[in-house]
Chain A
Amino acid sequence: MSRGLNLGEPDAADLLQAVADFLAQTVAPRLEGREAFLAKVAVNTLGIVRRQLMQDGDGALLQPLNAEADAMLAASGQMTGGQDRLRALADAIRSGVLAHDDPALRSLVLRLAAARVSVEQPAYGSLKLVPDTTGEHQPPPQA
């Protein structure tokens, strides 16, 4: 998402953070049982939305993976790119055009999954097993 306009107003991430903090700090402590559980789920859900907005705005995170997928699909004579990239990959594996036990394919699919988990659940345990995961649990690169 763009943080460059500098209109002196909160951007979408700020608004989501404010709502999440309100739910977590003010609402959740007053709830019990299932409602307290659902409040926690709600807070986590807003976190997914916030991280996804930021990732969509900064396509650099996924771009190398997408380029790798496109190259792999092109090498096997498949249509590439765009919104249907995952669909093309999935179909090529299902039909056997891409060998399901090819180490390069498996490595790519693993990193694609890790990129999604880093948005949807940055604290998920298995992410620690993927050394080059891009996610906000890692310090941002120096400018």
Chain B
Amino acid sequence: MTVEAGLPVQALAMRLGGHEGAIENLVRLSGGASQETWRFELVTAHMRQALILRRAPGGHDLSAEPVAIGLAGEARLLRAIVPHGVAAPRVVHVLEAPDGLGTGYVMECVEGETLPRRLQRDAAFAGARERFAADCGAALARVHAVALAPGVLPGQSDGAGAQLVRYEQIFRSFDSARPAFEIAFRQLKQTLPAAAPPTLVHGDFRLGNLMLDATGLKCLLDWELAHLGDPVEDLAWLCVPSWRFGQTARPVGGIGALGDLLDAYERAGGRPVDRARFDWWLVFGTLKWGIMCLMMYRAFEQGLDRSVERAAIGRRTSETELDLMLLLEGRL
């Protein structure tokens, strides 16, 4: 079962389990282009517990997104929001220098499925698919209702205007000729929505970061892009065409209907969603993902991560160019 045993976990085993503590069945999970995720079992004389280690590659934070809060920030945020009833993992331990594993934290292992294709197709999730859009709407309403204590996240709101400026700056630094992106930039500048009251935003709420079981949505994962901003960002990001994983006609994660998402969101206390604002964030999210693909390829180009995944992701930018044009033409 153990595919990569190369992680020195002896110190962590003793930290978590005392002198008799041992770590078994350590395996790196497939997801996570910017962070490593490892599953393992903590074993003592009395118990065996499945846990998850989230860790920066090589122990160094290497996120493509410059405003990512890092794994320490993510652990701090999780500890702050779980008491609010947000379905997020409980943090067990934040890595410290003596653990010898760099930056990261250990959290409880929630059992379920995150792989988009399985969630979209497997018979076991037929019931979960029925309620997926409504589950997501209700879960996001709960996230957006959290009143965070000061200092948990950077105080500055990262809304539509700030993100548009930042991603254009990043894109310009690449010298990448993308006519579709230029059309999108001009359109987005013309239609920039008014600033929204700063709200806790997950920042990467999409298939792949959502854990489901047969009964429905269980847990929201990967909070490293969380920030204060416009809540409609989360609703639209879930519907970005790339996150439909081939099921283009079903806007909500390639599984559900948009009306179900927005109805459930408002029923659960979310502010009514203005359709023009949603459309703006849908186009911007598509553009942003295209630029993020270029950013992740940069890590390969600069020799920071020579994996085939990082190299190949640069070639996913064209899909976002196509989606942008289809969205702007009202065909998607």
Contact = CB atoms under 8 A, between A and B. Distances in A.
Interface stretch (B89-97, B193-201, B223-231, B313-321): B313-321
Contact of B248 (A34, A84, A121, A126): A126
B325 A113 contact: yes
Given A86-B177, A127-B322, A129-B248, A93 B183 contact: yes
A123 B246 CA distance: 8
A90 B182 CA distance: 6
B318 A113 contact: yes
Contacts of B316: 120-121
| Interface residues of chain A: helix, strand, loop or mixed (majority) | helix
Nearest to A37: B30
B241 A110 contact: no
Contact of B321 (A33, A93, A116): A116
B165 interface: no
Interface string B294-321: 0000000000000111011001101101
A20 interface: no
Contacts of B177: 84, 86-87, 89-90
B325 A110 contact: yes
Interface residues of B, number: 43
Contacts of A53: none
Contacts of A33: 3-4, 27-30
A9 interface: no
Given A42-B308, A106-B325, A109-B179, A125 B241 contact: yes
B312 A125 contact: no
A5 to B, nearest CB: 29
A93 B186 contact: yes
Contacts of B29: 33-34
Contact of A36 (B30, B186, B315, B318): B30
A142 B308 CA distance: 37
Contacts of A120: 315-316, 318-319
B241 A126 contact: yes
Contact of A130 (B182, B312, B322): B322
Nearest to B323: A126
B326 interface: yes
Interface string A43-86: 01100100000000000000000000000000000000000101
Given A33-B4, A34-B28, A126-B322, 20 more contacts: A33-B29, A34-B4, A36-B30, A37-B30, A41-B309, A45-B311, A89-B177, A89-B179, A100-B183, A105-B183, A110-B329, A113-B321, A120-B315, A120-B316, A121-B319, A124-B246, A124-B319, A125-B246, A126-B326, A128-B248
12 contacts: A34-B4, A34-B28, A86-B179, A94-B185, A100-B183, A114-B322, A117-B321, A120-B319, A123-B246, A125-B244, A126-B319, A126-B323
8 A-B pairs with the lowest CB-CB distances in the bound complex, closest first: A110-B325, A37-B30, A113-B321, A93-B182, A125-B248, A116-B318, A87-B177, A86-B177
